[in-house]
Structure 1
C-alpha cells in the first residue's frame, strides 16, 4: 500500500488486491480532489474494502474481470473481438467511472455518441453498432449476476440503430460475369476456390479450412465442420451451430476439384488432413483477386460477394429462403435479415399455396 503526492499537488494511491478470480492485481488511482494525505488514505481504504468483497470500484475493474473470464469460455478470436470493442468503444467513456454511479442516463448519452462516431471517415454499420452495445450490456449483466452492482443500468436499454437504408454493399455477380471472370484465372487452386465459393456459397474461411477428407467426390458433397481464422492463422470451430453442414456440389465444382486433385497428384505428396487450398494470406488472396478482376474487366467484388451471388442464384432458381438458409449455414431469421430482399415473393408464394389448398377442399 502506498500514498504519494503527485507533481500536480494532489495525492495518488497504489495498492495490490486480489480480484474475483484470485489474481493479484495492482490498482493505481489519483484524483484532484485528494488534496491531503488523509483524503487519499480514506480512498485507499474504500478500494481495499470493495475488493475484500470482490466488488469493483471502477468500470475498468469490472471490464478486466469480465474479459479475463471470457478468455476461458470463448474462442480466441471472439475474446480478441471483445477486448478490441472495449478498448475502442467502451473504455473511453466508462473506464474511469465508478461502477455504482453509472445510470441509464449515462448509457443513453453513450449511445448518442456512438451513433455519431466513425472510423476512417466511415460511420459504423447497424451490425457493428449492435455488437458494440451487446458487449456493454453483457458486461453489466455479468456484474449484476455476480453481485457487483445492485441495479443493471442497461436492463431497459434498447439497441439504437441508424435509419435503415437500402443495402448497396452486396455486389452480385451474375453467371455471365462470373464466366467472364473465371476464364482469365490461370491458377488451378484459385480457379477451383472461386468455383466453390460461387456455386456452393461457402464462407471464405470455411473453404480455406477444407481438407481432402472433407470432400467426397463420389457422393459429390462437401463437409463443413470448421473455419480458418486469417487474423490468428488457426483452424477453429464454425461461425455458428448452423454452419456445420453437408453441401451438395454441382457437377461443375466436382469437375474442377477432380482437376485440382490430379494437379496435386502429379506434383506433390499430401495426406487427407492437408488443406485443399493450402495456406494463403488474406492480403495475397485479395491482391490476386483484384488482378484477375482488372484483367477480366468485370465490376469489382470481394470474396464474400461470391457467397452473396450464390444466394442470388438460388433465389433465381426458385428455391425458398428456408432451403437457401440451410445450404448457406444460416438460421432462417438471420438469413432473411441479410438476404431477405432476394426473396421478395416468398410470402406471395405461401399465400398462393394456401389458396390452392382452400380451393381443393
Structure 2
C-alpha cells in the first residue's frame, strides 16, 4: 500500500498489490484524488471490495458455469459420470472455502487415507480442471490447486488383480443352468469385452455363421438400475469385429433357440435382455450368486468382479502368446492399444518374459 502525490498533475494517487495466502492476486493503481486523506480512504475501500468479491466466488458456482463448456469437449457419458463426483464433493465439502489451498490440501490428504489412489486422482483432477477453466475465464485470479499435493503412495502394494483360470471358469459355469446366463458369462470370459459392450449387444451384432461379434456401442450405467444403451464405445480402438471360439458359439446357439420364442426376438433385441439391456446390478448379483454356489460346492474359486472377466481373458491370452499371436493381436481383440495393454498387465508380461528366458536357458 502506498499513497503519494503525482508531481506532474498535483493529484494524489495510490498503488499496491493484493496477496491471498502469500500469492499475489492483483496489482492496482488509481489517481486523481484531491487530498491525501481521500486517496487513503479510496484505497482501503478498493482493497476491501476486491477481497470481498474474490472470496465470494464459490466452487459450486464455478462448477455449474463450467459444465456447459465441458459438455462440448467430452462425451455426454463422461459428463454424467463426473457430475456425480462433483455433486458428492459439493455435498461433502461445500460448506468449506474450496478456493482456499489449505482447505483443499486438507480434503485431498483426508481422501488419501480413505480412498484408493485412483479415486483420489479423480477428485484431484475434478477440482483442478474447474479451477484451470476459471482462471482462463478470469473468474478467479489463480488456481488454488497449484499448491495442493497428493500422496504418490510409492510404498503402497499394488492390489492383486483377480481372474479365473480356464478350469476355474469351467467350475463356475458348471453351476449355471440358465441358458442365457451361460451364454452371457461365456461371452464375457471368452471374448474379453467390456461390461457395457456386452450389455449393448443385439442379435444383429452376432454372426454365428462367420463366428464373429461386432462391437460398435456400449451401455453406460447412469444410476444403479438406469442405463443408456446408445453410446459409442470407449475409444476409437473399441470399434472392432472379433472371432468367437466354438465353445461360445455352442452356448449362444443353445440360448438363441430359446430366445427365438420371445415376442421381442429380432435383430434389435438385446441378446442379454429384451427390448432393454440387462441391468448392471442384475449382472453383478448373478455373478455373486453363482460364485457363492460354486464355492458352496467346494470349488474354491476367486470372488471376481464383472470387469475381472476381461482381466481373465487378457491373462489367458498373454500366458499363451507362444501359440502364434502377439501383444498387438491381444490389444486389438480387447479394443485397447498395445501401450495400454502393457501398462495394465505389465506383471503378466514380465512373467511371460521370464518363461522365455527359462526356455532359452534349458534349450540344448
TM-score by length of 2: 0.70
Aligned partner of 1:114 in structure 2 is: 111
Structure exhibiting the larger radius of gyration computed from Cα positions: 2
Cα distance change, pair 350–64 in 1 and its aligned pair in 2 (3 A): farther
Deviation at 1:142, TM superposition (A): 0.9
Aligned partner of 1:166 in structure 2 is: 158
| Partner Cα separation in structure 1 for residue 77 and residue 330 of structure 2 | 27
Cα distance change, pair 221–126 in 1 and its aligned pair in 2 (3 A): same
Aligned partner of 1:253 in structure 2 is: 248
Give a deviation string over 1:75-118, Cα, whole Å, max 9, x none: 4442233233223336655665385xx44x554444322212x3
Counterparts of 1:173-192 in structure 2, within 5 Å, are 173-192=164-183
| Partner Cα separation in structure 1 for residue 287 and residue 82 of structure 2 | 31
Deviation at 1:266, TM superposition (A): 4.2
| Partner Cα separation in structure 2 for residue 322 and residue 280 of structure 1 | 31
| Partner Cα separation in structure 1 for residue 357 and residue 126 of structure 2 | 40
SS of structure 1 residue aligned to 2:145:
coil
| Partner Cα separation in structure 1 for residue 264 and residue 87 of structure 2 | 46
Runs of 5+ unmatched residues, structure 2: 1-44
Counterparts of 1:265-304 in structure 2, within 5 Å, are 265-268=260-263, 270-278=265-273, 279-297=277-295, 298=299, 299=301, 300-304=303-307
Aligned partner of 1:78 in structure 2 is: 78
SS of structure 2 residue aligned to 1:85:
helix
Aligned partner of 1:263 in structure 2 is: 258
Runs of 5+ unmatched residues, structure 1: 1-41, 119-123, 356-361
Aligned partner of 1:65 in structure 2 is: 65
Deviation at 1:155, TM superposition (A): 4.6
Cα distance change, pair 145–228 in 1 and its aligned pair in 2 (3 A): same
Say how many residue pairs are matched: 297
SS of structure 2 residue aligned to 1:239:
coil
Deviation at 1:209, TM superposition (A): 0.1
| More moved, 159-168 vs 59-68 | 159-168
SS of structure 1 residue aligned to 2:57:
coil
Aligned partner of 1:34 in structure 2 is: none
| Partner Cα separation in structure 2 for residue 98 and residue 201 of structure 1 | 42
| More moved, 236-245 vs 140-149 | 236-245
Aligned partner of 1:206 in structure 2 is: 197
